[in-house]
């Protein structure tokens, strides 16, 4: 078998870097919006438990606070989990 050369190893590293940037950006956007939706859902549950009556046309009481926290959590956790999973599968490529 051919041993990997320094040039081919650098090409693989560059392609992985481009892949990681692309995947990271897409999952950050997905995490931002999905985290915000989960945050609003939590605000709705908390408001229901507190018997809070939201104004007409507003989904829940104090929903911006929960949405911002959910967006922050989502934008950090989803890309982190995906990148962790991608790097884990890169190291296990020889295994079945």
What confidence score (pLDDT) does residue 87 get?
83
User: Per the structure block, which two tokens stand in for 67?
Assistant: 């949405």
Residue 13 vs residue 75, higher pLDDT:
75
The DSSP call for residue 60 is S
What confidence score (pLDDT) does residue 78 get?
96
Please tell me the total count of domains within the chain.
Answer: 1
What confidence score (pLDDT) does residue 73 get?
97
Tell me the per-residue pLDDT of 10-27, one tens digit each, with 9 for 90 and over.
666 667 888 888 999 999
For the chain, give the percent of residues with pLDDT over 70: 77
User: Per the structure block, which two tokens stand in for 61?
Assistant: 């009481």
Question: What pTM value is reported for the model?
Answer: 0.74
Instruction: List C-alpha distances in Å: 53 to 12, 44, 46, 90.
Output: 56, 10, 11, 50
Q: Which domain holds residue 70?
A: 34-89
Q: Is residue 56 part of a domain?
A: yes
pLDDT exceeds 90 at position 70: yes
Is residue 35 a contact partner of residue 74, using CB atoms and an 8 Å limit?
yes
Q: Is residue 95 part of a domain?
A: no
d(CA 80, CA 85): 9
**Which of the four pLDDT bands, split at 50, 70 and 90, describes residue 45?**
very high
């Amino acid at each position: 078998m051919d041993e990997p050369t320094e040039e081919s190893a650098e090409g693989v590293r560059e392609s992985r870097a481009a892949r990681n940037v692309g995947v990271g950006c897409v999952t950050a956007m997905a995490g931002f919006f999905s985290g915000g939706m989960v945050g609003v859902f939590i605000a709705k549950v908390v408001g229901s438990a507190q018997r809070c009556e939201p104004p007409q046309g507003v989904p829940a009481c104090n929903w911006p606070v929960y949405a911002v926290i959910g967006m922050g959590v989502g934008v950090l956790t989803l890309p982190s989990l995906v990148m962790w999973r991608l790097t884990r599968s890169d190291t296990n490529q020889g295994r079945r």
